[in-house]
């Protein structure tokens, strides 16, 4: 029996990605075989569909860092055929074959049961990006929001869109930073109460402290923007550092930490322990308005992935791509 997958192969001048028929015995050894129903496109997927950015070590490779589906076979007592499951992280789609495939074989430890109240499609509309937004929002909550609006950078992207919707659902004032003014209506619809043009925060730090403006921040951008934002946080407020869409360097000073007690909280979704994953997914199912989630969805198929992978690396994808593997 064959199934379809997006296979990335090494070529003389880089890599090439194409949809191919595969056989089950080519899947890696692991305890649980899943009939994948949906996957999605994250920034890392863009890297892995293309030449890899150092993430993929072995070719041919099947990318897809997250997926949802139904268990088909399991050697682990925690999962039985018919169970609905979700996978994010654990370097699946990078070091291990991933979700751009109608079948995937993975370790039982990497799966979580599909959260109650979500369909497999909704789970991938959330995907790694949305799951990470929830981790970021929980980290801010654990450290306490201050009074001002909560800033979300890279707001029209996957992490940003879900963060805006989650924070709005919690009753927060949300300031959305975007470089795409044409996405203002979309962001306001998700719950943003203020739009901040990217250019306003793009300049490097001139003064280490500016006026205290933001009561919290989910940052998907990093780089000069994060450095700038640190100096604008309210006394004792926290920034959850999620991404590096604007660069990995942090040209900042330590002054906001020392004089304003600002907290910089690192958010990693890949190696999160099982209990935290279950907690975050349950919270997503409870908090995220499903009609807002649907507004973020861009439907796609395996054939669309080479184009979408390139688009996400250029910051041109809006919201959440949902790849239908059925």
Can you say whether the dihedral through the CA atoms of 252, 253, 254, 260 is positive or negative?
negative
**Residue 105 or 292 with smaller CB distance to ligand NDP:** 292
Q: Provide DSSP, 237-268.
A: -EEEE---TT-S-----SHHHHHH--EEEE--
Given the rule CB under 6 A, which residues bind ligand NDP?
42-44, 128-129, 132, 154-160, 178-180, 198, 220-221, 225, 242-246, 267-270, 312, 315, 317
Shortest Cβ 129–ligand NDP spacing (Å): 4
Which residues, in sequence order, are bridge partners of residue 15? 10
CA 180 to chain centre: 19
CB of residue 162 to ligand NDP, shortest distance in Å = 8
Minimum CB distance to ligand NDP, residue 317 (Å): 5
| Bond prior to 60 in cis (omega within 30° of 0) | yes
CB 277 to ligand NDP: min, Å:
12
Which of 44, 172 has the CB closer to ligand NDP? 44
What tokens appear for 40 in the block?
Answer: 């999605």
Structure token pair of residue 192: 């943003």
Task: List residues bridging with 86 in a β-sheet.
Answer: 68, 112
Torsion of Cα atoms, 321 then 171 then 134 then 289, to 10°: -40
Q: Which is nearer to ligand NDP, 71 or 321 (CB)?
A: 321
Would you say 250 and 227 are in contact if contact means Cβ atoms under 8 Å apart? Answer: yes
Q: How far is the CB of 126 from ligand NDP (least distance, A)?
A: 12
Report how far residue 301's alpha carbon sits from residue 36's, in angstroms, rounded to the nearest whole number: 13
Return the residue matching tokens 């001139």.
206
Shortest approach of ligand NDP to residue 13 CB, angstroms?
A: 25
Identify which of residues 1 and 271 has a Cβ nearer to ligand NDP in the complex.
271
**Residue at shortest CB range from ligand NDP:** 157
Between 36 and 218, CB nearer to ligand NDP: 218
For residues 23 and 268, which CB has a smaller minimum distance to ligand NDP in the complex?
A: 268
């Amino acid at each position: 029996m064959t199934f379809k997958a997006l296979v990335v192969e090494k070529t003389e001048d880089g890599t090439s990605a194409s949809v191919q028929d595969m056989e089950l015995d080519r899947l890696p050894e692991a305890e649980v075989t899943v009939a994948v129903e949906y996957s999605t496109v994250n920034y890392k997927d863009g890297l892995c569909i293309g030449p890899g950015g150092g993430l993929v070590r072995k070719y041919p490779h099947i990318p897809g860092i997250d997926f949802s589906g139904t268990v088909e076979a399991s050697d682990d007592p925690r999962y039985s055929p018919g169970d609905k499951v979700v996978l994010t992280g654990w370097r699946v789609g990078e070091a291990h074959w991933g979700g751009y495939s109608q079948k995937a074989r993975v370790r039982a430890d990497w799966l979580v049961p599909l959260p109650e109240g979500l369909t497999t499609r909704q789970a991938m509309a959330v995907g790694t990006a949305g799951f990470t937004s929830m981790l970021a929002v929980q980290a801010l909550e654990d450290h306490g929001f201050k009074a001002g609006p909560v800033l979300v950078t890279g707001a029209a992207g996957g992490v940003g869109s879900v963060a805006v919707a989650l924070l709005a659902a919690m009753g927060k004032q949300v300031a959305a930073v975007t470089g795409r003014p044409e996405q203002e209506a979309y962001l306001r619809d998700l719950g943003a109460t203020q739009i901040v043009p990217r250019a306003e925060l793009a300049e490097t730090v001139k003064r280490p402290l500016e006026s205290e403006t933001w009561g919290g921040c989910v940052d998907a951008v990093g780089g000069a923007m994060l450095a700038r934002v640190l100096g604008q946080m309210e006394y004792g407020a926290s920034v959850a550092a999620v991404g590096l869409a604007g660069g990995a360097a942090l040209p900042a000073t330590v002054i906001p930490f020392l004089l304003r007690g600002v907290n910089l909280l690192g958010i990693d979704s890949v190696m999160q322990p099982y209990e935290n994953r279950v907690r975050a997914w349950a919270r997503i199912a409870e908090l995220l308005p499903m009609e807002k989630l649907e507004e973020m969805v861009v439907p796609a198929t395996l054939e669309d992935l080479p184009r979408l992978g390139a688009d996400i690396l250029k910051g041109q994808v809006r919201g959440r791509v949902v790849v239908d593997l059925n």
